[in-house]
Every structure is written in C-alpha cells, then in structure tokens.
Structure 1
Amino acid sequence: MFTDQSFQTNANELNLIDIPNTQDFKMGKGIATIFKQKYNGVKELLNQHKNIGQVAILQRNNRYIFYIITKQKYYHTPTRENFELALSDLRRVCEELNVKHLCLPRIGAGLDKLPLEFVHVTIKKVFEGCDMMMTMFYFKR
C-alpha cells in the first residue's frame, strides 16, 4: 500500500527514509538538513563506506533511518538507474530487517528534479509483491 500525506517532523515511531542522498552525506539542503539535525550520525553513516546505489542505516531507539545514496555530490543529479538501484537495495535491506512500514518524504522530485510520476512508478515497481506499507509525506506550506 502506498499513501501520500503531509509531513510532520515528529512523525511517530515508524521507520524513515531520506533520499536521494550523497555519498559524502553533506546533507546541506532540503529535507536532508532536518534528518541531519534530528538524527545526527554523519560519522556513523560515513563509516559504513556505502557507494552509489546502496543504503546506509542509522538505528535510533526502535526505528531505522535509511539513507539511500543516489549520487556522489550534492550538486550532481541522480540518474534514473542509480535511483532504481538504490531503491532495490532498500527493498533488500528492509526485507532482511523485517521492516513492515516505511515513511518517506516525497523523494527525488524536489531538488533532484526527477519527475514525480517516474518516482512513484519506480517505487511501485521495485516494491511490487513486498509485504510492506509505504507512506510518502510532503511539506505542507
């Protein structure tokens, strides 16, 4: 199941995802700055030595925070291929960790300028048949 809701930074105890992200985890713009301030852990993320197309993970209390790496530097634009590879790795990791509900910001279509329709279609394609609920949040201005 895939739903769209307005974003609240104090969202419950669900697992969260911050994507797209850069390999250097600078997180200087967009929703990434909120994740950086709220969950810290940049050094912990860097120590995982993840590459483009992979997922780095923080565990805070009873939740996981997933950082999908889709590009090397903040000023790069993620390719559709890297976006899909990263989502595929996210699915693998979620299945390994038995994650059943994932909350994510409206990803890729903001600063990274991926078409929202492509983002939705790719998420649905990658997670098809996966026993998981996904809720996409967006900033309400």
Structure 2
Amino acid sequence: MTVRFVDGDIFETSPKVALAHGCNCAGAMGKGIAVEFKRRWPTMYKLYKEKCQSGEFQTGDLFAWEDPDSGRLILNLGTQKTWRTKATLEAIEGALQKALRKVQQENIETVCLPMIGAGLGGLTAEQVKTQLVEVLDNSPVQFIVCENYAAGIQPNGIQ
C-alpha cells in the first residue's frame, strides 16, 4: 500500500482506523491536534503524561493505547523532546517504524494521521512528506495523511 495525502478531519473516521499523532515527550498536550486527543481520551492522556514524567516515553518512541469503549487504537508518536523543541526526522522515523510494527501485530489495515512534525513541530511539510513516504510507502498498511485540516470531513481513501 502507499501513503496518501488528503484533506479532512482524522476524527471523522471509523473506530477500526487507528489514529496517530506526533507529540512531545514532556507530558504536554496543550496545542494543536494534541489538545483534541487529550479532550477525547483523558485516560490516554493521563497515562501518556505518567510515561513522560517517568522517562518511559522518549523521542522515537511509541505509546499505543486502545480505547476500551470503541476499540480504536491511538498511536502517540514521540517526535520532539518538549513543546519548546523542534521535532526531528530521526524521531519521526523511529516512532513510525514502531507504529507500523504495532498496527501489523493488531491486524489494522488503515492509520490516519496529520502532518506530524510540521507546523508546531518546526519541520516543513516537504521534509515530513519525504520522511513519511520513505518510511511507510509500500508497507502492508494504508497510511492516510490529512495534510490540510477540514473540520467534519471524512478523509478520502478510508476503507
């Protein structure tokens, strides 16, 4: 399968679609799309924050959490040390590789994510696109990247 870049709202997908997002490793989800993850899944946020505070969650790591109500898998990707530092391509690559292994183990066919590391993460969209394609293209899992947020719109290509 391939990486597809579309417009849409990652939250407008079926619970069978895993959601991924880049986050810092300091326990803060105070800006960007992370705020919505924190709002929707406060239990996940609490566990994420504990892992950050204990040093268990570092750049390049994955913290996967399954919503007990919907069964949706949430993939927290450690892309930057703190909210004040920039994301790194190395951290994105490591976290994506771990995420790919996890979704394959869970037999998940589709992952939807924003442009991790771009915007608040400090990287350019072109850097991130190149990295996503290098790491994820030709994987057995479909990755749908919402490069442009469109509230309430289901991303194209979701099965």
Bucket of the pairwise TM-score, normalised by the shorter protein: 0.7 to 0.9
Aligned equivalents of 2:110, 2:11: Cα separation in 1: 17
Counterpart in the other structure of 1:102: 111
Q: Deviation at 1:111?
A: 0.8
Alignment match of 1:11 (pick from 10, 13, 17): 13
Counterpart in the other structure of 1:115: 124
TM-score (norm 1): 0.87
- For the 8 Å contact 1:23–1:50, the answer to whether it is kept is yes
Counterpart in the other structure of 1:37: 39
Counterpart in the other structure of 1:53: 60
- Amino acid of the structure 1 residue aligned with 2:97: S
1:56 is paired with a residue whose SS is strand
More relative contact order in 1 or in 2 (CA 8 Å, sep 6+)? 2
1:129 is paired with a residue whose SS is coil
Q: Deviation at 1:112?
A: 1.3
Trace 1:62-77 onto structure 2 (pairs within 5 A).
Answer: 62-77=71-86
- Amino acid of the structure 2 residue aligned with 1:66: L
Counterpart in the other structure of 1:28: 30
Q: Deviation at 1:9?
A: 3.4
- For the 8 Å contact 1:45–1:57, the answer to whether it is kept is no
- For the 8 Å contact 1:53–1:68, the answer to whether it is kept is yes
Please give the root-mean-square deviation of Cα atoms over the aligned residues, in Å: 1.9
Provide the aligned length of Structure 1 versus Structure 2.
140
Gaps of 5+ in 2: 152-159
Going from structure 1 to structure 2, the CA distance change for 1:96 and 1:47 (only over 3 Å counts) comes to: farther
Name the stretch that deviates more: 2-11 or 68-77.
2-11
Q: Deviation at 1:65?
A: 0.5
Gaps of 5+ in 1: none
TM-score (norm 2): 0.78
Aligned equivalents of 1:92, 1:82: Cα separation in 2: 16
Going from structure 1 to structure 2, the CA distance change for 1:50 and 1:92 (only over 3 Å counts) comes to: same
Q: Deviation at 1:38?
A: 0.6
Aligned equivalents of 1:63, 1:99: Cα separation in 2: 10
